[in-house]
Structure 1
Amino acid sequence: MRKYELDELFEVLKRHKITTNKESVRHWLREGKITGSKGAGPKQNGWLVTEADLLSFLKERLPEHVTPELPGEDQSTTTVVLTEEEKEAIREETRQELLEQLAAKQIWEGRFQLKKSFVNACLDHRRIENRELRTYILNRIMQYKGGYATPGVLYLLDTFNFDGERLSFDSNFGSLDEQIVFSLIEHLRQEYVNPEKRKQE
């Protein structure tokens, strides 16, 4: 069984927020609050504490719900420092996983109804004048009802569901209706120019 010298013992107690003073550890050893024996160091007069005795002391001092953590004999620790970009990527990945779980359970924030006049106004704003493309986008939007009587999309936070795909709002616009419709127009424009993705009308 592993034995801990004073410095190691102090580090363990400090990590568990029991003390920040090495002299307190010496005092507890002398008083017998921590069971230890002499025999460490070059003069063999330093303290040695067994793992069992250390655990016993930790259990007395720590709240019941806290499990003591002891370093392994050959344990080495590595500190990983993440850049802001990496932190943001982790946050975004976690967020996407959560959104997928909510969408899989059909949990949505609301439903946005798509109106032909508004879609046409957005197409005008985007200056989409190609008649075939415009007709394709308009028909795809107005035909998508997602099980409802009127055209519309279900949304959650800044994403919405269209034809089985989760699309992000277009953050270049301020209002919910614009963010959804302009995102949808761009998605369908990309779909139209890619014959493999294009849906048959």
Structure 2
Amino acid sequence: MKKLVIVFSILFCFSCHNQAQTNPKQQAVINADPIEVPLENGLAKAYFASGCFWCVEAIYESVKGVDEVISGYAGGFTDNPTYELSNTGRTGHAEAVEVIYNPNVVSFSTLVDVYFGSQDPTQFNGQGPDRGSQYRSIIFYQNEAQKKTILDKKMALAKTLDAKIAAEVYPFQKFWIAEGYHQDFEKRNPNQRYVRAVSIPRLNRFKAKFQELLKESAKH
């Protein structure tokens, strides 16, 4: 009986995630025209989803030219998503980050390299131990030039690895800022169990591969 309950729970969960991803509202998001975010005080914004936003925020904050990184939700069809709602897998959203950067110091192309170089690019619907559509990989483009950059790099990586690359490519629509306690979570909670076991090792693997991109403060 217990096994049957577990099986039905898994099927229900899978069904919820599938419904969110095949929802006509989700297709409208995927097919929409991209929204371009204007420069503000010389700084640009880029948006990425790559598993737990605690991990991704810390990675991008270590990169030269990045001024700030904000955790939030993007890619879905539900207004005002919360952490609890996102975790149901029914909002269409993925945990994402807003990267605020100086394009004179670091290019969008380099930020895409950071994206692919800081994850398992072949893992679908999650990163590491985090599984589900809310942890899926998405790169958001704001114009055709960014879209071409993403697709070219994705194709080249697929050829290099001889594997299918998981990242979805979406037109940017809207970024919803996550709850305050998620912001700078890894920095503020270095001894939290998940941070110690998953976030910090992921950050350190990135640092080891991309020393030339790191801020001086991130090299120690």
- TM-score normalised by L of structure 2: 0.22
Larger radius of gyration, structure 1 or 2?
Answer: 1
Where relative contact order (Cα < 8 A, 6+ residues apart) is larger, the structure is: 2
- TM-score normalised by L of structure 1: 0.24
